[in-house]
Chains A and B, each alone.
Chain A
């Protein structure tokens, strides 16, 4: 070995150079750091999948079914093959023997029907947009042109568009086995007792319209092979999950398949998928031995990115006259679309445990039926199940308030879990670890100027102002931080919910962090650096975060369900702790002290009571040289950690929205929006703020703008952004955001998820406000999206308003704790004057057994 390669010599050089890092005592966690990844992202120095150019690359284009439901009787690709630049053309039949079936990893019941889902249709198409043939050509223009030369004969079959009709006797069938995919039930407490003789029962049906997730970056796939192994680049949120699932689907052995998620421009759940195009990309590259690329157009994406929501919710509330909710019954139809994709059937289950919201109720009953239709499959979309649940309960609680003539804030106060009651075991068998609904609500009411707006509202009602003011309340919580593996097991999910991290000290004292999370806009590089900087006492700038490539980050569960910080960030912290433990041993050895006497602070290990010590960088260098390590200690200062949470994370908050509704045109404008969220301890307030703003905007999108519309034949009509409207900054008000910080007790960082909270909270806040504005007209609901036309129709059908504010039963003074029936003089949060039972009937807290009176088809509840 030459001298230059001697680690000791290099160590000496490092020590003498100014390369060796120095410790830092800065407190990074909690700082509003600008994101370190942004300069690169916003100046175009990015590697989007579509930017990747490989030698000899070919381009794929897909011919897609123009019909929602049809038998394929003939596919003739010969003319397309003869087109210039065309290398190959495949029909579904050509690939039938090797394409397998796209996976569903969440068989929610034992008798669930999981139909075969060929990546390219062979005999039958079941939604408009389903791929029926594929052209591979030397450039994407030639590929697109050749599509027009493919001839396909279809024998039309009846479309199945509406869920209720799909379940009716005699409905045309999507699959031979019938249109019912599964029925899943869950219950807690005595629901019949709750509804028996209930003084007030509210029954409502809400439509969760179908949404199209619209990430800024369209989906794209590059597949390549060196003849032995395969690499798939994909605009995905889930490189790790994808690798396993693709290995199982294509038969490419897992160790011969590398999956890379390069820079990914947003996902919102839509890239939490194993897509047909990913599988077909690999198959084509396997056949041709050449790299292939596919990038969707926006219209192609509207058709074939999995859709979100699409549920029909029947919710009933049984309550006392004082507003105390006794029980909640939910009967749900969930539109699966034509097939069950990665977690399609599980989405409504993620909401199943949330219909109690933040409230103490005695009994709960939930039934969900998954229904097949001839439409694009649904799957995860920001919030996944929880926005739907939160919407239904928050809308229904407003209806209850109206029914009782109580202020909507007051009704919530009478039902919510008070801060002294945490940890709280809910009727759904979850344990809410921490929270303070009173504090968040009080802060929100103050920022909003609630009483003043109520006064203006009543004035406008009195004046019969054609522009009415409505106030919407949403006090939400949600379960996120997916997820405790054993709970996922109890819900029949196909994998665990842990996360992995490695932290390695480099010889120069710099730090590399490898995370199993897969950021696609969330800023993990910044937040993880802040966590590591504090944990190891190194400068923020000395930390690099690696992710999104299974060859670099060999293990992980990726990014969705507001899990990255609360699971992945905690894994990073745990790995740092292990690094410190090892460094402490080495420091003790070098300083000739007992490890128990070594103190760690701001990146230095010192002997208690002395100034003698070593910086973590010096220790990193020492372990690199490895000349003098304690017996049995391996060289290197690295550690791996895998964190499996034992509870979900429960962010909560109070969102208030004031909407002006022009009753003459139906137009509505959000006048003010206040969000006070409690996401526990905050690692980076700027990132939290960004997540909250984007989340609120997306929830407003559902409330006011977005809807995937199909005609009666099942054709998607909203295929462009001129038809599928997404709000931009110009369409949104300034958001007033603030926080309360009640640390989570379920993880050492005290953090809760924030990725979905805004979306979950804002939709009901906006719709509650619109309905509130229209109460004088006798309006009780407006279907989402609340378009001007819908609002106008509702108002026109309702007829002229009843006179004045009294008719609308709009009581004033929520922040004074008052209600129309029983004005209370006290202000501020505090416990209600008419509390419910001191303790709710005890839901069991052991996982699996739960208060959940599980039916045969579901193995108990979540925790």
Chain B
């Protein structure tokens, strides 16, 4: 549990950080950004990664914090999970993020780990990428060349691989406010309180009068990246989510049927906690539960 030797750089500003990264990129050095260290340090300690240097953003004053920007909430990459949870803006304007963040690890990890680190790490078992995907967030990225935006649907490229280029840092994420009529739920299935999700479901559902107007569902740990449950989203549109026992006993079954397609198009991994068929089953059951919870 002792990492191999590496250089340690603590830039004084974001500009300096971008410059250092650009230089390293030009020199062909393998340099990694360090934020809360909750994902990167374990990789180093297990000697699964051997970067030549770490560029520590941990003490930079920005990009940090949550900002209400009218039609969206901007969450700075260096905002810790704990700060996200304490933010009234997040709770009120983008509650799905609060619901998912509350399930991340334990208080100690949430005090160090950052929102941005969770995204860039692009772990399909991480809880926040699915939220970004469900809400169609926009990632704002900076390099010495300037800023660019990446939609969530393009940000998660592969297992532990984001769309971030070598010289780029994540500034933050625009989380759209979905407006009235939307309900949210994050359903996480895990074996112990601080364990990663075996499967997770982020659901945002808009009710249109008596029916489901729109559903956005993203799945955690059902493939090398988070995935949208598009078939279920389509099948849910126009269905009545009427509660159990009401006139809609049949409607309830329809919702269940729709959620029965939640795993279509996924390629769930096999690991010690679950084989793929079980993950598929969980995705279906948990999606149903998430949709029910989101439709209240």
A-to-B contact residues, CB < 8 Å: 140-141, 144-145, 148, 297-300, 664-667, 705, 709, 717-718, 720, 722-723, 725-728, 730-731, 787-789, 792-793
**B2 within 8 A of partner (CB):** yes
Beyond known contacts A730-B106, A731-B193: 13 more, CB 8 A cutoff: A144-B2, A145-B4, A298-B1, A664-B285, A720-B46, A722-B195, A722-B196, A730-B193, A730-B194, A731-B192, A787-B273, A788-B189, A792-B278
A665 and B286 within 8 A (CB): yes
Complex CA gap A722/B272 in Å reads: 10
Contact with A along B263-294 (1 / 0, CB 8 A): 00000000011110010011001100000000
Identify 5 residue pairs between A and B in the complex whose beta-carbon atoms are under 8 Å apart, listed by A's number: A144-B2, A297-B1, A718-B272, A731-B193, A789-B278
B286 and A788 within 8 A (CB): no
B272 and A665 within 8 A (CB): no
**B27 within 8 A of partner (CB):** no
A728 and B192 within 8 A (CB): yes
For A298, A665, A792, which residue has the most chain B Cβ atoms within 10 angstroms?
Answer: A665
Partner pick for B194 among A665, A728, A789, CB 8 A cutoff: A728
For B2, B5, B286, which residue has the most chain A Cβ atoms within 10 angstroms?
Answer: B2
B5 and A141 within 8 A (CB): yes
Complex CA gap A297/B196 in Å reads: 22
B-to-A contact residues, CB < 8 Å: 1-2, 4-5, 46, 106, 189, 191-196, 198, 272-275, 278, 281-282, 285-286
Closest 10 pairs (CB-CB, A-B): A297-B1, A730-B193, A144-B2, A731-B192, A789-B278, A664-B285, A725-B192, A789-B274, A731-B193, A723-B272
Complex CA gap A792/B278 in Å reads: 8
Quote the shortest CB–CB distance from B45 to chain A (angstroms). Answer: 8
Partner pick for B193 among A664, A718, A723, A728, CB 8 A cutoff: A728
A725 and B1 within 8 A (CB): no
| Residue in B closest to A466 when the chains form the complex, CB atoms | B285
Quote the shortest CB–CB distance from B288 to chain A (angstroms). Answer: 9
B1 partner residues in chain A, CB cutoff 8 A: 297-300
| Residue in B closest to A144 when the chains form the complex, CB atoms | B2
| Residue in B closest to A719 when the chains form the complex, CB atoms | B46
| Residue in B closest to A704 when the chains form the complex, CB atoms | B191
A299 and B46 within 8 A (CB): yes
| Residue in A closest to B196 when the chains form the complex, CB atoms | A722
| Residue in A closest to B198 when the chains form the complex, CB atoms | A788
B273 partner residues in chain A, CB cutoff 8 A: 787, 789
A667 partner residues in chain B, CB cutoff 8 A: 189
Complex CA gap A141/B282 in Å reads: 44
Complex CA gap A725/B278 in Å reads: 19
Complex CA gap A727/B193 in Å reads: 8
Contact flag A793-B192 (CB < 8 Å), given A723-B272, A787-B273: no
Complex CA gap A141/B5 in Å reads: 8
B4 partner residues in chain A, CB cutoff 8 A: 145, 148
Complex CA gap A664/B199 in Å reads: 14
Quote the shortest CB–CB distance from B83 to chain A (angstroms). Answer: 22
B281 partner residues in chain A, CB cutoff 8 A: 792
B278 and A705 within 8 A (CB): no
Complex CA gap A730/B282 in Å reads: 23
A300 partner residues in chain B, CB cutoff 8 A: 1
B194 partner residues in chain A, CB cutoff 8 A: 728, 730
Quote the shortest CB–CB distance from A645 to chain B (angstroms). Answer: 40
Contact flag A717-B2 (CB < 8 Å), given A730-B193, A788-B191: no
A140 partner residues in chain B, CB cutoff 8 A: 2
Complex CA gap A789/B281 in Å reads: 10
B274 partner residues in chain A, CB cutoff 8 A: 789
Quote the shortest CB–CB distance from B245 to chain A (angstroms). Answer: 13
B195 partner residues in chain A, CB cutoff 8 A: 722, 725
Quote the shortest CB–CB distance from A184 to chain B (angstroms). Answer: 34
Complex CA gap A728/B2 in Å reads: 26
Quote the shortest CB–CB distance from A730 to chain B (angstroms). Answer: 4
A709 partner residues in chain B, CB cutoff 8 A: 272
A788 partner residues in chain B, CB cutoff 8 A: 189, 191, 198
For B106, B196, B275, B281, which residue has the most chain A Cβ atoms within 10 angstroms?
Answer: B281
A787 partner residues in chain B, CB cutoff 8 A: 191, 273
Complex CA gap A654/B192 in Å reads: 27
A727 and B192 within 8 A (CB): yes
Quote the shortest CB–CB distance from A57 to chain B (angstroms). Answer: 17
| Residue in B closest to A666 when the chains form the complex, CB atoms | B278
Quote the shortest CB–CB distance from A149 to chain B (angstroms). Answer: 12
Quote the shortest CB–CB distance from A637 to chain B (angstroms). Answer: 51
| Residue in A closest to B193 when the chains form the complex, CB atoms | A730
Complex CA gap A16/B177 in Å reads: 81
Partner pick for B282 among A144, A148, A665, A718, CB 8 A cutoff: A665
Complex CA gap A293/B196 in Å reads: 35
Complex CA gap A298/B45 in Å reads: 11
Quote the shortest CB–CB distance from A91 to chain B (angstroms). Answer: 21
| Residue in A closest to B278 when the chains form the complex, CB atoms | A789
Quote the shortest CB–CB distance from B50 to chain A (angstroms). Answer: 10
Complex CA gap A297/B3 in Å reads: 12
Complex CA gap A140/B1 in Å reads: 11
Complex CA gap A140/B281 in Å reads: 47
Quote the shortest CB–CB distance from B293 to chain A (angstroms). Answer: 15
A725 partner residues in chain B, CB cutoff 8 A: 191-192, 195
| Residue in B closest to A730 when the chains form the complex, CB atoms | B193
Quote the shortest CB–CB distance from A580 to chain B (angstroms). Answer: 51
B272 partner residues in chain A, CB cutoff 8 A: 709, 717-718, 723
Quote the shortest CB–CB distance from A159 to chain B (angstroms). Answer: 19
